[in-house]
Chains A and B, each alone.
Chain A
Amino acid sequence: MLDTLKDVVRKSSIHVCLINTGGCNGCDIEVVALLSPRYDLEQYGIYVHNNPREADVILVTGAMSEQWKKNLQRIYAKAPEPKIVVAIGNCPLTGDVFNQEGCKIYAPVSDFIPVDAEIPGCPPRPSEILAAILAVGPDALAAKGRQKQ
């Protein structure tokens, strides 16, 4: 009974924290475009507020830059359980074009924190980001929440 209630509650209020770990901003503005009336993220109960302490979903955009190597793990630790990490764009997956000789990039992000879902694209369309969050978000959160107990 309690589990079912928790599942329902978790599925209908997903708080999102967006972390740019060294990207070009392209994916970030596609996430901002998700807030627009056309896509309207909040009708699905998803709320973007950039506060890791109350986040359920952490969106990572960008390849890992020097300064984020320690800080990303700290931010990940601050988010309460259950939490999932969604990597948006090519940068957190492979480092994209920045991952070449002479760069200051330590991709992929999955070397530093566990990543649950990956959305390739440079940048992916807002609808793809939304579909990925909805596909992985509610069920994974509910499943992870039960595991913990």
Chain B
Amino acid sequence: MILPIGPIHPALKEPVRLKLKTRGEKVISAEIDYGYVHRGIEKVMEGKTWQKGIFLSERVCGICSYIHTQTFAETFEKIAGERAPLRAQYLRVLTNELDRIQSHLLANSTYFKAVEHETLFMYMLYLREPVMDAIELLTGNRVNMGWNVVGGVKMDAKETHLNQIKEIITKLESEYGRYVSMYEEGPLVGLRSKDVGKMSRDDAITGRAVGPIGRASGLKHDLREDHHTYQDHFDWKVIWRKDGDNFARNMNRFDEVRESIKLIKQVIENIPEGPVREKINIPAGYAEWRNEAPRGEVTYMIETNGNLINNISIRTPSIMNIDVCAKYMLNDVATVADAVATYASVDPCVACTERVVIMDESGEKKEFDGLHTVKYLK
């Protein structure tokens, strides 16, 4: 029997259609339909200047909105062959890690909601709100920050603001262990997540799983290792696990928050003085840039004529993660409730994924293969 869930359903936060093939209560396989929030954002960006493009790129996804602007800006900086000033790079790391903390806490809270553990759901949101305050303090807005520009960041951070952020982060760190141990050692919710929705390392490689989902299955791959700012100035380590079940994915995100706290402290202690923005002359050209978003690898491929964007292609992590969830994790799941929890554990961000719909001439939607969505440029 096919059990359809969505697009509007109590278990889902975003419109997507899960089709679960069930026998009794057991879920045998699953299929996921997209297309409910497709806006044609790449097409809109074509023929616009970067000032308009960066505004649009922020609205690809609301949860990881920050990293999209940073990747957009760094792609243009790569075309120009320059880098942002060091203070701007530090501030970018600071905002990126704050954004990662709030995104991971939100992702885990969604998972706890899916397994109906209301207490931890509330605790996660309780921990998240001060981080949102820190983001607002730094950038002036909670969600769509408008903080990056090509060649740096828009505003300088004041010393008092950095101190306040440090206070917030220290308080978060002191409380954090208690809530994590509730999940890690708690008999109820921890056991419900172990050995559910398992994905092996080979499957993760075949399905191109990225981010905490790939790392929880043993793929030690974090693009921050390759990023110049993180490489040269910061001391941190990649979090990864071998188990590949829901518990590993959630714990991976929990542990990454600890690393982010470490990074934020390093930024605030070592931030250099100097300008935060430089004028950059953009020549015509093409470049690719990859960054580690909270959900994994985000790639921007931009072709510009020096002034306008000729062609742009965005590849976000969720498209791969949702597909590996449907193909490898939702095989032989014991109950439908576990299937929904597994879907929540991959931290799906549907707004990210929905940019490409392949239409034929009659305007009808054709087959949409999530694993091959990157539109190659000439």
Contacts and interface: CB of A to CB of B under 8 A. Distances in A.
A35 B125 contact: yes
A67 B8 contact: no
Contacts of A123: 62, 142-144
A36 B62 contact: no
Interface in A47-67: 49-52, 62-63, 65-67
Contacts of A37: 122, 125-126, 129
A27 interface: yes
Contacts of B11: 50
Contacts of B334: none
Interface in B23-48: 35-41, 43-44, 46
Contacts of B129: 33, 36-38
Interface centre among B10, B13, B63, B349 (most CB of A within 10 A): B13
Interface in A95-149: 96-98, 100-105, 122-123, 125
Contacts of A87: none
B55 interface: yes
Contacts of A38: 125-126, 129
A50 B40 contact: no
Contacts, number: 136
A75 B36 CA distance: 14
A24 B9 contact: no
Given A36-B129, A67-B36, A25 B63 contact: yes
A97 B14 contact: no
A27 B61 CA distance: 11
Interface in B90-148: 106, 109-110, 121-122, 125-126, 128-129, 132, 142-144
A122 B9 CA distance: 25
A19 to B, nearest CB: 6
Interface string A26-43: 111110110111100000
B262 interface: no
Contacts of A96: 59
Is chain A's interface secondary structure helix, strand, loop, or mixed overall?
A: loop
B60 interface: yes
A50 B132 CA distance: 24
A38 B128 CA distance: 10
Interface residues of B, number: 46
A20 B14 CA distance: 6
Contacts of B14: 20, 25, 28
A32 B39 CA distance: 23
A67 B41 CA distance: 16
Contacts of A86: none
Contacts of B63: 25-26, 29
Given A28-B13, A32-B125, A100-B44, A17 B59 contact: no
B15 interface: yes
A18 B61 CA distance: 17
Contacts of A92: none
B61 A65 contact: no
Given A32-B106, A50-B9, A123-B144, A25 B349 contact: yes
B40 A122 contact: no
A103 B13 contact: no
B44 A98 contact: yes
Contacts of B121: 35
Contacts of B8: 17, 19, 50, 52, 75
Interface centre among A18, A49, A52 (most CB of B within 10 A): A18
A71 B7 contact: yes
Contacts of B41: 98, 103
B80 interface: no
B125 A122 contact: no
B38 A68 contact: no
Contact of A30 (B38, B46, B142): B142
A25 B351 contact: yes
Contacts of B172: none
Given A36-B126, A75-B8, A24 B60 contact: yes
A67 to B, nearest CB: 5
B65 interface: yes
Contact of A122 (B13, B37, B38, B144): B144
A-B residue pairs, 7 tightest by C-beta: A26-B62, A36-B125, A25-B62, A25-B351, A102-B43, A104-B40, A24-B59
14 contacts: A22-B37, A23-B351, A25-B62, A26-B59, A27-B62, A29-B63, A67-B38, A68-B36, A98-B59, A104-B39, A105-B39, A105-B40, A123-B62, A123-B142
